[in-house]
Amino acid sequence: MKKKLLGALLMVASTATLGEASGFEVALFTGPTIATYKQTFTFAGGSPQVQLARLTVKDAPSIEADGGLAFGAAATFFLSNSFGLEARMDSVDIDLQSFGGNYTLELGPPGSPVTTLPVTLGESQTDLQQVRPWSLNLRFQSQGRVGIGFSGGISYMSAVDITSTPTLTVANLNASFPISLVATPVNPDQTHHMGFNAGVTIQIKIASGFALVGEARGFTFKRSELQWQSTQTGALSTVEKALLSSIAAQLEVPEFTPGFWTARAGLAFRF
């Protein structure tokens, strides 16, 4: 499928000869990102439990993407005055805000616990690595002092890992247990994502060869199936370690879809 899409792009481009080439353009732009990912997690097989210790879920854990700034660079080889091939690199800042959830920790026989304690797996900022898609597009650009353009095509992005470091806190015990939950691809051979991008641009010429650029663009990629791995970053008792392992084993797998929208402004130069 990927080869067919790339072949189609090159086939369309080949309809214009090099003799018809009408210039080269480079552009730089920046602006905000609107991320689209949000997921609330459930526990498979009920509440995590180990021996006589059980966690009852009150508020389910969740992860929500929050977009920051996006930077981009594009180079277009125009095969005619209005049509060309565009290669672009985008660097997108996306943070994932995780909420670990609220629980009740029961110690003792099921149905008649000896002790019941509130537990929180606290909020944390989650790092998302390598959100830098590379794209190859077909581009159409109208001419005039104010020009409207459209470009779209295929995008490539390296695989991502999600790292979360919430703190497990047990009320009334004055105890906090720092832990780390890392979501990595289920398939270790998954090293990239293929997807699509499309955008609309407005250009306003300001000087010979130079133009102000406004752009709205969306990216979508194949869903990534991840798995949780837990590690402790502080001292935990045997029961606490077992509960942590149970949480990681039963917590719903994150199905991360790295899609986002950008709205950016910048400067283009055509020569």
Answer left, alpha or beta for residue 206, where phi above 0 means left and psi between -120 and 50 means alpha.
Answer: alpha
The burial of 42, by beta-carbon neighbours within 10 Å (0-12 exposed, 13-18 middle, 19 or more buried), is given as exposed
Which pLDDT belongs to residue 191?
64
Which pLDDT belongs to residue 147?
95
Q: Would you state the structure tokens that stand for residue 89, as one six-digit string? A: 């690199």
Please name which of 187, 172, 167 lies closest in space to residue 101, comparing C-alpha atoms.
167
Task: Tell me how far apart the alpha carbons of residues 82 and 188 are, in angstroms, rounded to a whole number.
Answer: 43
Which pLDDT belongs to residue 137?
98
Per residue of the chain (271 residues), what is the pLDDT tens digit? Answer: 545 544 554 454 444 444 456 899 999 999 998 888 777 777 776 666 666 677 777 777 777 777 788 899 999 999 999 999 999 999 988 776 666 677 777 777 776 666 776 766 655 555 555 578 999 999 999 988 999 999 999 999 886 655 554 444 444 444 455 556 666 667 666 667 789 999 999 999 998 899 999 999 999 988 776 777 666 666 667 766 776 677 777 777 677 677 889 999 999 999 9
Residue tagged 């791995």 (tokens): 229
Please name which of 21, 77, 37 lies closest in space to residue 259, comparing C-alpha atoms.
37
CB-based contact 229:221 (threshold 8 Å): no
Residue tagged 């594009």 (tokens): 74
* Residue 215: CB atoms within 10 Å: 22
Which pLDDT belongs to residue 50?
63
Please name which of 104, 196, 199, 103 lies closest in space to residue 151, comparing C-alpha atoms.
199
| Beta strands in the chain, from DSSP E residues, in sequence order | 24-35, 38-40, 49-50, 53-59, 62-78, 83-99, 102-107, 115-121, 124-128, 134-141, 146-158, 162-164, 167-170, 175-185, 192-207, 210-221, 224-232, 255-256, 260-270
Task: Tell me how far apart the alpha carbons of residues 234 and 236 are, in angstroms, rounded to a whole number.
Answer: 6
Which pLDDT belongs to residue 194?
87
Which pLDDT belongs to residue 95?
72
Which pLDDT belongs to residue 232?
63
What's the pTM?
0.67
